[in-house]
């Protein structure tokens, strides 16, 4: 779908009301994932951290609980793991920290609000690089273009040096890993590609499958798993997409939020399931 078509359609949707949007025939062919309540974390440029609970993640409805401020000083790279676990690489360091939110406050580790579980992860921070987590698997793409996976089990690294599963990934502006070992890759022209890896066979099952155009204007794209993607626009809109061998609502985004100017959205890529394989 071309950018002009997508944004013209979105404008028409917003001119009515997002909640009154009627699904097309194509939407009915895309199976609905199970997401429950999706925790979206918002990191402001000042380092202030907020928690947003999206109640309409399965269909792309504009339904939320009230935003809650949960911390300051989050200047750096923030990742969301399983449950209420966050990982953080502070600016100017390669230290990988683990935090856990219990719903009211941050749990403590020997008196501190976090525990350090790794070092040297700054190699994956910066323009053209990727640092992400799916469950307890950390995905990094450095300036060489190598795609490397680090895995943890029972609070221990199972492959401290990481495993290279791909090369040449520096050609993409943005890479968004998801559950089901899917990777959504976006180039400088706004093209979206799907990759899928099989860690058991140690081979790629899907490579460079072109699935859309017009993704070059977003300030941020994150996956909640099972083909559910959130994207933020330059004017602060939060949009919802769902992909499964085709796009829900014929690729027309669902407007699910606003006020995301200067806010980086962070979400666990393991929330929605089952993954439409």
pLDDT in tens, 249-260: 999 999 999 999
Q: Who wins on pLDDT, 70 or 29?
A: 70
**Strands (E) located in 143-252:** 147-153, 156-157, 163-166, 174-178, 182-186, 192-198, 203-212, 220-225, 228-232, 238-242
Of 52-66, 180-194, 262-276, the range with the lowest mean pLDDT is 262-276
Cα 255 to its chain centre, rounded Å, is 17
Instruction: Show the tokens assigned to 194.
Output: 């799907």
Instruction: Show the tokens assigned to 252.
Output: 């027309």
The pLDDT value recorded for residue 230 is 98
The pLDDT value recorded for residue 131 is 98
Cα 134 to its chain centre, rounded Å, is 9
Place of tokens 């061998």: 245
In angstroms, the first-to-last Cα distance of the chain is 23
Q: How confident is the model at residue 24 (pLDDT cuts 50, 70, 90)?
A: very low
DSSP line for 109-155: BTTBS-EEEES-GGGG-STT-EEEEETTEEEEE-TT--EEEEEEETT
Q: Who wins on pLDDT, 18 or 90?
A: 90
Mean pLDDT in residue range 145-163 = 94
Q: 3-267 has which fold?
A: Tachylectin-2; Chain A (2.115.10)
Residue 19 has pLDDT above 60, yes or no: no
Domain ranges of the chain: 3-267
Residue 8 has pLDDT above 90, yes or no: no
Cα 1 to its chain centre, rounded Å, is 21
pLDDT in tens, 187-239: 999 999 999 999 999 999 999 999 999 999 999 999 999 999 999 999 999 99
The pLDDT value recorded for residue 275 is 53
Return d(Cα 243, Cα 183) in angstroms, integer: 12
Return d(Cα 51, Cα 268) in angstroms, integer: 13
- For the entire predicted model, the pTM comes to 0.89
pLDDT in tens, 175-191: 999 999 999 999 999 99
The pLDDT value recorded for residue 30 is 84
The pLDDT value recorded for residue 6 is 55
Element (H, E) at 13: helix 3-15
């Amino acid at each position: 779908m071309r950018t002009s078509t997508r944004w013209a359609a979105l404008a028409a949707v917003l001119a009515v009301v997002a909640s009154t949007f009627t699904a097309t025939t194509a939407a009915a062919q895309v199976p609905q994932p199970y997401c429950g309540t999706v925790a979206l974390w918002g990191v402001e440029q000042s380092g202030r951290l907020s928690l947003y609970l999206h109640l309409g993640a399965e269909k792309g409805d504009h339904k939320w609980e009230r935003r809650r401020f949960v911390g300051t000083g989050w200047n750096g790279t923030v990742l969301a793991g399983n449950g209420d676990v966050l990982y953080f690489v502070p600016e100017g360091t390669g230290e990988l920290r683990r935090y856990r939110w219990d719903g009211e406050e941050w749990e403590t580790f020997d008196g501190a609000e976090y525990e350090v579980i790794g070092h040297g992860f700054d190699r994956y921070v910066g323009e053209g690089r990727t640092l992400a987590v799916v469950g307890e698997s950390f995905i990094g793409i450095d300036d060489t273009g190598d795609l490397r996976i680090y895995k943890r089990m029972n609070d221990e690294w199972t492959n401290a040096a990481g495993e290279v599963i791909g090369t040449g990934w520096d050609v993409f502006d943005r890479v968004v890993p998801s559950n089901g070992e899917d990777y959504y890759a976006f180039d400088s022209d706004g093209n979206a590609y799907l990759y899928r890896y099989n860690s058991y066979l140690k081979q790629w099952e899907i490579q460079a499958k072109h699935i859309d155009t017009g993704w070059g204007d977003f300030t941020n794209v994150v996956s909640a798993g099972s083909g559910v993607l959130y994207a933020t626009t330059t004017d602060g809109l939060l949009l919802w997409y769902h992909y499964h061998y085709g796009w829900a609502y014929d690729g027309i985004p669902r407007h699910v939020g606003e006020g995301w100017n200067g806010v980086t959205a962070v979400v666990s890529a393991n929330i929605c399931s089952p993954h439409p394989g």
